[in-house]
Amino acid sequence: MNETVFFTGVIALPLLGALLATVWTRQARAIGIAATLGMVLCAGGLLLHVQQHGAVLLAIGGWQAGLGITLYADGLAVLMVLMSALVMFAASVYALKYFGSAQKHTAFWPLWLLLATALSALLLAGDLFNIYVTLELLGISAAALAALGGKREGLVSALRYLVVGLLGSMLYLGGIALLYAAYGTLNLQALATQLQAEPAAWAALLLLFSGLMLKMALFPLHFWLPPAHSNAPAPVSAALSALVVKAAFYLLLRFWLDLFPPVLTPWLANALGVLGAVAVLWGSWSALRAERLKLLAAYSSISQLGYLVMFLPLLVVLEGEARNLLLGGMVAFALTHAFAKASLFLSAGILLQHCGHDRIRELGGTTQRLPLTTFGIALAGIALVGLPPSGAFLGKWYLLDGAFSTSQWWWVIVVVVGSLIASAYVFRLLGHAFGHLKAVERPRVSGMQELPALLLALLATFGLGLGAAGIWPLVADRSGVIP
Amino acid sequence: MNVMSLINQWLPLLIVFSSFFIGLVIFFLREESYHLRTFLNLLVAVGKLVLVGFLIWGVYHGQVYEIRWVIAPELELYLHADALSVLFVTLSALLWLVTTIYAIGYLENSPHRSRFFGFFSLCVSATVGLALAGNLLTFVIFYEFLTLATYPLVAHKGREEARKAARLYLAYTLGGGMVLLVGVIWLKSIVGPLTFVQGGILDTLPVDVHDELRWIFLLLIIGLGVKAALVPLHGWLPKAMVAPAPVSALLHAVAVVKAGAFGIVRVVYDMYGVEFAAELGVLLPLGIAAAITIVYGSIMALFQDGLKKRLAFSTVSQVSYIALGASILGPLATIGGIVHLVHQGIMKITLFFAAGNYAETLGIHKVSEMNGVGKRMPLTTLAFTIAALGMIGIPPVAGFISKWYLGLGAMEAGALGWVMPVLIASSLLNAAYFLPILYRAWFVPAAVDWPQEKITSGRYGETRAMLLWPPLITATIALLAGLLAAMPFSPLEWVELIAAREYR
Amino acid sequence: MTDMTGMSSLLIVLAPLWPLLLALVRPDRIGQWLLPLAVIPALWVALIPEPGTTVDLPWLLLGSRWGVDDTSQVFLLITAWLWFIAGLYSVSGTPAGAGLWRFRIFFMLTLSGNILLILAQDMAAFFLGFAAMGLASYGMIMQQRSVTVTRAGRVYLIWTVLGEVILFTGIVMVLGTTGSHYFDSVPGAELSLVAVSMVTLGLGIKLALPGLHVWLPIAHGAAPPAVSALLSGVMVKAGVFGLLRFLPAGTESVVQVAEWLVPLGLVGAFYGVAIGLLQTAPKVVLAYSTMSQLGLLTMLTGIILQQPQAEPALLFALLLYVAHHAWVKGALFIGVGVFKKTLSIWVILLLGLLALVLAGLPYTSGALAKGSLKAALPGAYSWLEIWLLLSTFATTLLMGRFLWTLFAYRAHHAATQRISLRLPEWLAWGLLLETVLFWPLLFGAQPVKWVEALPVLLGAVIALLMAWRVRVPAGDLPVLAVHGFFRLRKRVLG
């Protein structure tokens, strides 16, 4: 039973690691690395398994669905799991040298591994209640991690983050309560077959989506994100921006695809799409105006999530092969954003550590002294703009393709303008890298910090840009909503 | 034997990525390891030229070179060597070798050489890649890659001016790239896979999409026109002159500007098909834009005192000959346009080499400082003279051949009425801005002091050997390309082959 | 025989290339002597090979063919000989003395172009030769550094480039119709009127058609004597040669344009004289004379192009005229150079003789050329005879003015140091003088019609009178005769 091992590994390893790290603080780092590496391996195994055998359902403890905890892994889920495992692992390696004091490490690793656990569990959860639990766990551990920065503003924003997260969870909880009241089950599979277009379902949908939109910081509910993400420690920012918001988006997508099709109307899709479009433009514009690098990265996340939401209105209209293409493009985009944004935050952390601030205007000298980091930022930037080769390029390609083939050209304009602003903010940063410093002494930066950032960026660009063809068959195979 | 077939199979990939990987290696070289870097640079430049030699030989004998790599459903990277790509690849590989030599001489003792040569190599990979692109997607990818690889080169000097120019360059080219991308995706949503086929692939489409095809053509041309510096999309080019001379040379002769022009050629001939494009009525607007660009660039060049600025506007003007040739229906105009791709490259690179030599040896940056420079630097000035005369269209330099065929093509298509005045005006204007330079250089005695004499003329000639030889080589090629235009394997002969296949 | 053909082919190829090779020789002592030697292969080609000998050079340009036919061999002879003389004259250096090598390079380039355009049997090679000649002679004009010369050079260059661009356009149009760039495709081709006009305009600048002539007096006046000799003597004739090459005689559009060439040529002939009479510099007067003579050549070419059937006689006359004008005008220009150095009265006398030859004195080449011209005039153009007489008269007047300017120059420069001539200079001028005087004898004694000499005499007399500013008293000739008688008697009686 390979898949059981993989399933369990992905969730249990970090959980076990979190417990061990709490107890055995001295070896917290080693435990963290081992656990996240294990996650990567298990996620990889799971991916291969799903690739060969199709989606997998696992009922823990032998209870039948509806009673016990069910875990469910289809192509979409495994891809997200692998993505989060990779980012967590890279950020873990990075974190080894990031935190100066042992005290910080002691606080960091258990929370960090808890976050990893929550992520994996959320992505693989098969019923709405478990999702709620993992969502709470995710929100709390994320807020706690965000507070690790220790500065005053960091604490304030982390607190706000916590409150917003709780609010989101409450909305979500309201939604599932409605569903439970109406249909008597929270199992995704069961709900999917029963759900009908009726007021209860609509209300539930609104509540669920509002909660998730708050958590994924979709315009106009984005206000909390920039301060929270930009003030957290670098590896935490990376995970928050790359994974935590994406988990919310993943849920939105999953409900969209599997749960609510009877209820969805193009009107709703378009409304969401418009929000996404505004998010794209507003987020990019704010990123362009941002004074600080991490703030830039955070605003960029808002706009990137906007793109993901913009796929939805097309997803409603398109059918068959075209829809699968679009879906795959969307996933490629999401993956790219995760890797690229994580890389960018890690690199930003290096710059921040190195010159004590991250004011873009004054980064010129540092970027010249740290060519490898700068190179990583450049690659991540390419992925964020959506230039080839990158997964985002593919994503935008299918988005535009879909827009053209459904004659919805207004999305095209948004994508074009958004991409142009994105290139403006990326190269505003990179422009400073070309100066002629007379004495170029290269400071010592640990390869353990530079490499994860660079590798993530390479993954986002060349990896996904050239080697993403496997995504489509994985995502497209949605035969029967849940087996 | 096995090795041979293996090489044959991977040849396009080798040609594209040899410089890419060497470029990556060069990034990590220490600044001081001059010899290793030089060795690597020359090794890969010469190696690539040899590989291109294989390619020419193979393509001439009907060998098919292609490599496919699926990056997503319906999207594949496709490298394919046809006659047109071989032409451009050869030009790039040849001029890259020369420019590498020049750049090594030019950048002696300047900082950040590893970075420079790294991007320099990437830049050529991108150029060769888009030359070998077998479909529009691959072309777009390398087109964007080229933008990214050249941006650091423009910004290389790092001063505020250079950074500004680079930013402007980027704004233009990324904007153009975006428009191009939109056009390509739109086209793809109508047609499906966008493989380049001689004679075009769109003429079978139903009439009701013709309007869309016209709009798409506009988008594609705008996207490509930015790099090809079609007026009014040319604004970046004169500003990008702050880049070091080898970069300007490469930018203007082979890489960026040519990528745009090459793209236009590809779109007109191998995507739309020139006859279908004529049927759609999109060629005339393109021709008019090209004509305006030709005249406008020449007029602007008249008023520039900065030597490189003048050359830049000259590029604006000259590159549009290619677009002009593409916009006239008929094999002769096709020959004239495509052969100018090569001819303009060789001549313009010579001019920039020479301009770089003046700047690097004597500190001359302006035309008004060039009095008597012919006596001090006779060989450089001779090379400059040959290239300048070629630009005007004086035989036997290569430019003459281009104009000859463009004129004939215009006559063949019955477009003489508007093409000929453009050719005449441009030739006269070219003469008006080049001949005064030659006059100053050869006939006016020098001032007492040069602006800033950095290299004194010594036993080895007027300047460093690595600066002197490249312009001499390219000037000789420019001369021979015209003088021996009818020789087998000359650019003209090769282009005639392409044209013959296009108008079967 | 095959050896001979092989040799001819080799020399035909060598004729334009040889000067280029010699241009690479840098030392002045050898190099200067290479100036006349550069013409040797061309002279050989002009004399030895059978007309019709051609060499195909398939790789060159767009596929090239060089060779000689009847007409071009004569042109080549005329050209090469004057180049030889000019080269010989320049052996001892230019007046400015500076930049001998540079002068040689431009000399050789110009020479090479000039020979090539005559040998070319295809349009691209012709244009190459034409362009090379036109542009490189700029370097020959720019020998001295002065405001006048610089300006002259600039004006020359602008017009030359203009002419070349227009000619290029014309060539492309001709080529578009004929379909082949070899000249043998030209006869009978129905060209468009625009094509013919473009070719004519482009070459018309070389031919100094009225309105397009601005550059000629300026440039020819400012260049060194030997260069002016070449410019006026042979290079402008490329215009005539080109018209014959490019335009298919007798076709509709060509006739249309050629009909305009006749009056245009006449206007040029008299306009040149009229303005020349007002000039004070000897070389400028000569330059205007060139313009005037080119007018006659243009007229003649215009007639030839209209009537293919009368071509041989007319062509013969044209060639005679070209030879006549080329060598005489060459001798005149070089003579001015000699004169300016020596300021000798004997040189003025010799120049006077040359001037009369140019005007058409009986027994000279002038009379030969004009005589055969008149004889060949087709019936429709017999009305031109009177104009020819008038033109002879006008030319004589202009030559009188020329001699007057020489005297004026001498008076003005009386105090300057006289420079003795070097041997090559004497040799060159002497050879050319002999050529001018004796080549008509090759064609046997021509019947002299004294009526035709009348305009020359009349012109000479009037010129003399004007030169000495003789005041004619009231009652004119009789009174003059009486005055003369008294004055003579007074002198005889002491």
**pLDDT tens, position by position, A136-154:** 999 999 999 988 877 788 8
* Mean pLDDT rounded to a whole number for chain A: 87
- The pLDDT > 70 percentage for chain C reads 94
**pLDDT, position C52:** 83
Q: How confident is the model at residue B11 (pLDDT cuts 50, 70, 90)?
A: confident
Measure the CA–CA gap between A278 and A301, rounded to whole angstroms: 13
- The pLDDT > 70 percentage for chain A reads 94
**pLDDT, position A480:** 43
Cβ-proximal residues to A163 (8 Å cutoff; 6+ apart), any chain: none
Measure the CA–CA gap between C392 and C402, rounded to whole angstroms: 15
Asked whether the predicted pLDDT for residue B2 surpasses 80, the reply is no
- How many angstroms away from the CA of B167 is the closest CA of chain C? 40
* Partners of residue B389 in chain C, C-beta under 8 Å: 135
Q: How confident is the model at residue C1 (pLDDT cuts 50, 70, 90)?
A: very low
List chains adjacent to chain B, taking adjacency as at least 3 C-beta pairs closer than 8 Å.
A, C
Among A359-363, B275-279, C268-272, C473-477, the least confident range: C473-477
Asked whether the predicted pLDDT for residue B494 surpasses 60, the reply is yes
pLDDT, tens digit (0-9, with 9 covering 90-100), for A269-296: 999 999 999 999 999 999 999 988 899 9
**pLDDT, position B54:** 87
pLDDT, tens digit (0-9, with 9 covering 90-100), for B35-49: 888 888 888 889 899
* Mean pLDDT rounded to a whole number for chain B: 88
Give the residue from chain A lying closest to B185, CA to CA.
A401
**Helices within C210-342 (DSSP H only):** 215-222, 225-230, 237-246, 252-276, 282-306, 311-342
* Cross-strand pairs, B79: B67, B133
- Is C157 in Cβ contact with B435 (below 8 Å)? yes
Query: Which of the pair, C474 or C221, is modelled with greater confidence?
Result: C221
pLDDT, tens digit (0-9, with 9 covering 90-100), for A359-387: 888 877 777 778 888 889 999 999 999 98
- The pLDDT > 90 percentage for chain A reads 47
With contact defined as beta carbons under 8 Å apart, do B77 and B138 qualify? yes
Among candidate residues B190, B179, B96, the one with its CA nearest the CA of residue B143: B179
* Partners of residue B156 in chain A, C-beta under 8 Å: 434
Measure the CA–CA gap between B359 and B374, rounded to whole angstroms: 14
The H or E element containing residue A141 is helix A128-146
- How many angstroms away from the CA of B456 is the closest CA of chain C? 23
- How much is the average pLDDT of B440-459? 80
- How much is the average pLDDT of C11-40? 88
pLDDT, tens digit (0-9, with 9 covering 90-100), for A207-230: 999 999 999 988 888 888 888 888
- How much is the average pLDDT of B316-323? 91
Q: How confident is the model at residue A63 (pLDDT cuts 50, 70, 90)?
A: low
Asked whether the predicted pLDDT for residue A481 surpasses 50, the reply is no
What is the identity of the amino acid at C135? L
Among A55-69, C387-401, C474-488, the least confident range: A55-69
**pLDDT, position A330:** 93
Q: How confident is the model at residue B435 (pLDDT cuts 50, 70, 90)?
A: very high
- Is B156 in Cβ contact with A404 (below 8 Å)? no
Total CB pairs under 8 A between chain A and B: 93
Query: Residue B56 CB: number of other CB atoms within 10 A?
Result: 18
Burial letters A25-57, b for 16+ CB under 10 A, else e: beebbebbbbbbbbbbbbbbbbbebbeeeebbb
**pLDDT, position A100:** 77
List chains adjacent to chain C, taking adjacency as at least 3 C-beta pairs closer than 8 Å.
B
With contact defined as beta carbons under 8 Å apart, do C197 and C260 qualify? no
Query: Which of the pair, C472 or A40, is modelled with greater confidence?
Result: A40
Measure the CA–CA gap between C188 and B22, rounded to whole angstroms: 62
Residue A470 touches partner B, C-beta closer than 8 Å: no
Among B377-391, C114-128, C416-430, the least confident range: C416-430
* Partners of residue A382 in chain B, C-beta under 8 Å: 148
Residue C279 main-chain phi, psi, to 5 deg? -90, 155
- How much is the average pLDDT of A388-393? 90
Among candidate residues B50, B42, B100, the one with its CA nearest the CA of residue B250: B100
**pLDDT, position B353:** 92
Measure the CA–CA gap between B385 and B368, rounded to whole angstroms: 17
**pLDDT, position A68:** 67
- How many angstroms away from the CA of C18 is the closest CA of chain B? 17
The structure's pTM equals 0.90
* Partners of residue C165 in chain B, C-beta under 8 Å: 393, 424, 427-428, 431
Asked whether the predicted pLDDT for residue A27 surpasses 50, the reply is yes
- How many angstroms away from the CA of B28 is the closest CA of chain A? 9
Q: Characterize the bridge pairing of strands B66-72 and B75-80.
A: antiparallel
pLDDT, tens digit (0-9, with 9 covering 90-100), for A152-191: 888 888 888 899 999 999 999 999 999 999 888 888 888 8
Q: What is the ipTM of this complex?
A: 0.91
- How much is the average pLDDT of B292-302? 92
The H or E element containing residue A116 is helix A102-124
Cβ-proximal residues to B349 (8 Å cutoff; 6+ apart), any chain: B95, B98, B99, B249, B250, B252, B253, B254, B474
- The pLDDT > 90 percentage for chain C reads 34
- Is A420 in Cβ contact with B174 (below 8 Å)? yes
Q: How confident is the model at residue A440 (pLDDT cuts 50, 70, 90)?
A: low
Residue B413 main-chain phi, psi, to 5 deg? -90, 0
DSSP state letter for C277: T
**pLDDT, position B14:** 86
* Partners of residue B416 in chain C, C-beta under 8 Å: 173, 176
- Is C58 in Cβ contact with B486 (below 8 Å)? yes
Only one residue has tokens 């690098």, namely A293
- The pLDDT > 70 percentage for chain B reads 98
Residue A351 touches partner B, C-beta closer than 8 Å: no
- How many angstroms away from the CA of B87 is the closest CA of chain A? 25
Is the bond into C217 cis (omega within 30 degrees of 0)? no
pLDDT, tens digit (0-9, with 9 covering 90-100), for C280-334: 888 899 999 999 999 999 999 999 898 877 678 888 889 999 999 999 999 999 9
- Is C63 in Cβ contact with B404 (below 8 Å)? no
- Is B148 in Cβ contact with A387 (below 8 Å)? yes
- Is C135 in Cβ contact with B394 (below 8 Å)? yes
- How many angstroms away from the CA of C114 is the closest CA of chain B? 14
Residue A416 touches partner B, C-beta closer than 8 Å: yes
Cβ-proximal residues to C248 (8 Å cutoff; 6+ apart), any chain: C186, C187, C188, C189, C190, C191, C254
Distances (CA, A) of A229 to A155, A214, A294, A300: 12, 15, 8, 11
Query: Residue B499 CB: number of other CB atoms within 10 A?
Result: 25
